[in-house]
Structure 1
Amino acid sequence: MATNDQQYRNPDAVLDVYEKPPLSSWAFLSLQHLFSMFGATVLVPLLVGLDPSIALFSSGVGTIIHILITHRKIPAYMSSSFSFIVPMVSLMKTVGYAGVAQGTIAVGMVYLIVSLIVGFVGSDWIDKALPPIVVGPIVIVIGMSVAGSAANNAMMNGSHYDLTYFGVAMFTLFLTVILNMVLRGFWSNIAILLGIVGGYILAVALGIVDFSKVISTPWFKLPAFDIMFANYMPKKIYWGAILSFAPIAFVTMAEHLGHIMVLDELTGRDFFKDPGLHKTLAGDGTASIVAAFLGGPPVTSYGENIGVMAVNKIFSVYVVIGAAVFAALFGFVGKLSALIQTIPGPVIGGISFVLFGVISSSGLRILVDNKVDFNEKRNLMIASVILVIGIGNAYLQIGSFQFTGVGVATVVGIVLNLILPKHALSEHWDDDKDNWKKDQKAKGNA
């Protein structure tokens, strides 16, 4: 795998990591990323009682911070993390955002401490802990673990099944696939954006889009920033918040590693070595700390944006920067932010079928490209366990602390890879038996 420098260019890329898009298409390419991550970004604050505009702004700022810390070498988008919803809801009801802020800072500090350790120890251990037989299934799980969310968006109108919703989702899906296959050049590159627009137009025609919030929202609306030491002074240390948030950082860290693996595979690079795992962890942690001082939720890397890159083969870090700038600006433009929030669930669901599916297919590609032999029992056991735990979301729950299925699958896969012998004992017995038969046959012939 090549290092991430400008002497190497991925031959499969339409735009490689360090390449800038032409001005005529830059905005459209960046808007695709914005629309893809927008729903999940604003959903987290809506669920916990925060201002979605702050989450949008902090995601843009956090993404730019991550890109700068990683020396513009990793096209990763950072946005609201779902892993902290349970403790955030509890803290918002009891101590308010001050507790959430301290917990979010604790998350960032955990990332920074781990990044320092990795900086001293190095990342050579990653190749031993994460060979293709572990990485491939984990990447498949990352895509499949959110398949249920895509399906719910596509089918469910509130608490009941809606055939119209499903029809819109399927229309969006097939339109996106057809446009991606038929169109060429620039139009093929924005097939996802065109699919979203087409699905949205159909949703409007069918009357499932509500514009009331767009009409009532002013053009300019300052996000309700909750800035520490400016809007409020911390009265005490909320140890409960810190202790409930900090362990979950290792969950999002495992997911972050998985996303970097996918980006490695897509771009043909090794981001664990260049710019280094310590850099990408430091970028993630710093982004969360900044979000805490602005009034936003913890952030993490987003699979939706990786899915966009997997489809259009545009890995340009400048396209991601454009999406981050749009996100930060849209946090202040009330009507535009409200308009994007009107994109209905079935449109998001239809697009998600493509994006999440392509991520999982990247995992299959890792297994195929590395010629992983599933006749070997060791490989079969590792892959099987990772897939079922991850896709089934067999999470670990201890009090308010929850370790997601993706995190559990990652840890279990790494452990199995380290402890299982390279060849099963039964295979040795079979080999010994075959050798014994050959010896006996040779003696008989003699």
Structure 2
Amino acid sequence: MTTSKKDVIYDVHDKPPIGMWIGLSFQHLFAMFGATVLVPILVGIDPSIALFSSGLGTLAHLSVTKYKIPAYMGSSFAYILAMQSLMKSDGIAAVAQGAVVGGLVYLLVALIVKFVGKAWIDKVLPPIVVAPIVMVIGLSLAGTAVNDAMNKNGDYNLTFLLIALVTLFAVLAFNMFGKGLTSLIPILLGIIVGYSFTLIVQQITGTPIITFDEISASHWFSVPSFDIMFVDYSFKLYPSAILTMAPIAFVTMTEHFGHVMVLNSLTGNDYFKDPGLERTLTGDGVAQMIAGVFGAPPVTSYGENIGVMAITKIHSVYVIAGAAVFAVVLSFIGKITAVIHSIPTPVIGGVSIALFGVIASSGLKILVENKVDFDDKRNLLIASVILVSGIGGLTLNIAGISISGVAFSTILGIAMHLILPKTTD
């Protein structure tokens, strides 16, 4: 599952020049911002807390994994329904406790992996299982990207589509034809072009798309509304939070495996072996516990940022760390946070079409590099079931626990690989 590094511009431990470093880090910040702040908005939590915890959680993950894995941690969508329910019944204290317990589940599994070993990974996750899962990770997000690109409040909007396409083609143009710095930050430049074009369209049509009310009302310095465990509220055990959120950790864990697989393919490294799956799981667990302590939604590794790395061929952990530091700092700067928050959804949608598509294409790359034979009906069936169940959102509901999409398709793929008999030529 290795890949050539000849086209890589900045490898995992390469440090870009300071000016370029800042631009590249902001690019990652913008890529994850929309999704990271959307989760707390849907749940009823201050988005600034989520921004803060995503940065701090990323730095913790980098530290635990010995700065070997360029992974950014952002708010997890898997917990939204559980958090919404808990916020209505018990409040933020229950959500925080559930997030911390979910992190502890990661640490427990990491401990088991440490003592049992990791030889089983290659046996249960061969290329024929890994590649379709990687494709599902990208393609299952396609609906979100397209919806952002062409719908306004659920209704088709031609203006939104035009803005999204201008943003998308700006990203493509900067990536393909840009020279020097412009070729390294196509996502950031694409967002700037899309934002500027939206302002022009808004001026011509008179239709409000970007509003500056939030920016005007924001203060330059603003402390996020933290709900710090053991400080802002007294401890109380919430069994419902534990029973509701802890099992979801196993769902996000399968997504974690998929993201590590994509990073393995992109960087040409095997992170399951070095720094080891036990460290990647521990990093995710610690980051999730940090989020819970500060009253933020649980975090997970982000496909958006993996997509940025795939497009730019820049895998530097310094760039990821820079984005994390900026996220922490910006969570205290109300004006800048409001500006980023004002990026219109069609701009995010246009960028996301490219990002999520590149992730899916990485799965195809794994199949090609490993010369997977699709004349072998066993391979054909495994890939087919993973793709349709994952992209279609096949869901298993048991006792209030929901397993769907990437998680369920991963389980099915592993089961099929272990159960279906090997075929011969």
Query: When the two structures are superposed, what TM-score results if normalisation uses the length of structure 1?
Result: 0.92
Deviations along 1:364-406, whole A, 9 cap, x unmatched? Answer: 0000111101000000000000000011011222354221211
Partners of 1:349 and 1:119 in 2: how far apart?
A: 40
Q: How does 1:36-75 map to 2 (within 5 A)?
A: 36-75=31-70
SS at match of 1:396: strand
The aligned counterpart of 1:251 is 251
Partners of 2:415 and 2:148 in 1: how far apart?
A: 35
- Contact 1:255/1:406 (<8 A) preserved: yes
- Contact 1:9/1:16 (<8 A) preserved: no
The aligned counterpart of 1:340 is 340
SS at match of 1:82: coil
The aligned counterpart of 1:232 is 233
The aligned counterpart of 1:158 is 153
Query: What is the aligned-residue identity percentage?
Result: 58
Letter of the 1:221 counterpart: S
Partners of 1:249 and 1:12 in 2: how far apart?
A: 36
Q: CA RMSD in A?
A: 1.3
The answer to whether residue 100 in structure 2 is matched with residue 109 in structure 1 is no
- Contact 1:48/1:92 (<8 A) preserved: yes
The aligned counterpart of 1:29 is 24
Letter of the 2:394 counterpart: A
The answer to whether residue 23 in structure 2 is matched with residue 12 in structure 1 is no
- Contact 1:396/1:405 (<8 A) preserved: no
- Whichever of the two has the greater Rg, that structure is 1
State the Cα distance separating 1:11 from its structure 2 match. Answer: 2.4
The aligned counterpart of 1:222 is 223
Deviations along 1:317-346, whole A, 9 cap, x unmatched? Answer: 000000000101110000100110000110
State the Cα distance separating 1:295 from its structure 2 match. Answer: 1.1
Partners of 1:400 and 1:38 in 2: how far apart?
A: 30
Q: How does 1:313-352 map to 2 (within 5 A)?
A: 313-352=313-352
Give the paired residue count.
419
The aligned counterpart of 2:375 is 375
Partners of 2:19 and 2:165 in 1: how far apart?
A: 31
Partners of 2:401 and 2:79 in 1: how far apart?
A: 9
State the Cα distance separating 1:192 from its structure 2 match. Answer: 1.1
State the Cα distance separating 1:230 from its structure 2 match. Answer: 1.0
Q: How does 1:289-438 map to 2 (within 5 A)?
A: 289-423=289-423
The aligned counterpart of 2:206 is none
State the Cα distance separating 1:87 from its structure 2 match. Answer: 1.0
Partners of 1:415 and 1:312 in 2: how far apart?
A: 35
Instruction: After the TM superposition, list the runs of 4 or more consecutive aligned residues in structure 1 that deviate by more than 6 angstroms.
Output: none
State the Cα distance separating 1:159 from its structure 2 match. Answer: 2.3
Partners of 1:49 and 1:399 in 2: how far apart?
A: 26
The aligned counterpart of 1:130 is 125
Query: When the two structures are superposed, what TM-score results if normalisation uses the length of structure 2?
Result: 0.97
Letter of the 2:365 counterpart: R
State the Cα distance separating 1:184 from its structure 2 match. Answer: 2.3
Partners of 1:159 and 1:187 in 2: how far apart?
A: 34
SS at match of 1:229: coil
Gaps of 5+ in 2: 203-208
Deviations along 1:156-190, whole A, 9 cap, x unmatched? Answer: 11121110000000111111111110012321011
